[in-house]
């Protein structure tokens, strides 16, 4: 595939403006697979035709398709395992003691096709008492409409459920459909609310969440966008609330007010109680 520098720059700039995902010139080749997907979707013969179409008029559907193909929806159940163990063993008991009334609100930001949010729900269901489970509500958001459509359906194929999920957990929380797909139980799905959200541009709830999972998002952002997202997350957390980042992500070199805490070798970040 041959794209001119102007075409690469046009799409790289658009994706950055709308999502914060950065494609530097040395990384422009990573856009080639996105171009291929877009050309197949719109039944176009070459990247020049794709460029002409987007440059002339970007409709809401064209925007949604581009964003869906440009975001990395790689995810699987119980990814990295430790965050879910630390949540149920260390964090939720503390929050239940600190906040004795009302809901414990958890946010799975950039939740993709829903595996993270459902892993949180399954962990709480399997490892916590009924009182804790009854008080938890999980918001799961993503920028991709297509990812959210799959998440909302609650249906996953055999490969999806085989990645990271123990068979006993699968049998407890899913039912197998006639086509050999698996559907999450109504009880578990009732603990999760799915909705569209752009971490760069949408309005955050203030002083609302007790726990926020924002994993494998910051690695695609530049320094300024990282700080903007983190500061919004900070204001969205309740005092004493916690933020989980992805494996390999940290706040080193970033201006934030979070405090670091370590559990079972896992570093997480807490909003101080003022």
pLDDT one-digit tens code per residue, 236-269: 999 999 999 988 888 988 999 999 999 989 999 9
The DSSP letter of residue 81 is S
Distance CA 257, CA 134 (A): 31
User: For 15-29, 141-155, 226-240, which range has the lowest pLDDT when averaged over its residues?
Assistant: 15-29
Query: If DSSP codes are grouped into helix, strand and coil, which group holds residue 194?
Result: strand
pLDDT one-digit tens code per residue, 177-205: 988 899 999 999 999 999 999 999 999 99
Helix H or strand E segment including 139: strand 136-142
Tell me, letter by letter, the H, E, C secondary structure of 231-267. HHHHHHEEEEEEEEECCCCCCCCCCCCCEEEEECCEE
Task: For the chain, list the domains and their CATH numbers.
Answer: 5-70 (no CATH), 82-270 (3.40.50.150)
**HSE (side-chain half, CA atoms, 13 Å) at 203:** 1
pLDDT one-digit tens code per residue, 136-172: 999 999 998 888 999 999 999 998 998 888 999 999 9
Burial class (CB in 10 A: 0-12, 13-18, 19+), 125: buried
Distance CA 15, CA 19 (A): 6
Q: What is the pTM of this model?
A: 0.86
């Amino acid at each position: 595939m041959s794209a001119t520098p102007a075409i690469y720059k046009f799409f790289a700039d658009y994706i950055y403006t709308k999502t914060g995902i950065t494609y530097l010139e040395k990384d422009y080749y990573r856009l080639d697979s996105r171009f291929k997907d877009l050309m197949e979707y719109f039944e176009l013969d070459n990247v020049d035709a794709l460029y002409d179409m987007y440059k002339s008029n970007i409709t809401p559907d064209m925007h949604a398709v581009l964003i869906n193909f440009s975001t990395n929806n790689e995810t699987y159940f119980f990814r990295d395992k430790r965050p879910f163990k630390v949540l149920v063993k260390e964090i939720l008991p503390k929050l239940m003691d600190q906040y004795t009334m009302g809901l414990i609100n958890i946010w799975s930001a950039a939740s993709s096709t829903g595996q993270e949010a459902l892993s949180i729900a399954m962990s709480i269901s399997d490892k916590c008492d009924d009182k804790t489970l009854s008080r938890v509500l999980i918001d799961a958001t993503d920028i991709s409409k297509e990812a959210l459509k799959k998440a909302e359906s609650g249906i996953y194929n055999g490969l999806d459920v085989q990645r990271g999920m123990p068979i006993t957990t699968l049998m407890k929380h899913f039912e197998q459909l006639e086509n050999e797909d698996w559907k999450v139980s109504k009880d578990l799905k009732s603990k999760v609310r799915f909705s569209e959200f752009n971490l760069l541009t949408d309005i955050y709830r203030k002083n609302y969440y007790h726990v926020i999972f924002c994993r494998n998002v910051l690695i695609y952002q530049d320094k300024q966008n990282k700080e903007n997202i983190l500061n919004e997350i900070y204001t969205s957390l309740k005092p004493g609330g916690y933020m989980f980042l992805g494996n390999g992500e940290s706040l080193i070199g970033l201006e934030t007010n979070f405090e670091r805490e370590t559990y079972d070798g896992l570093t997480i970040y807490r909003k101080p109680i003022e």
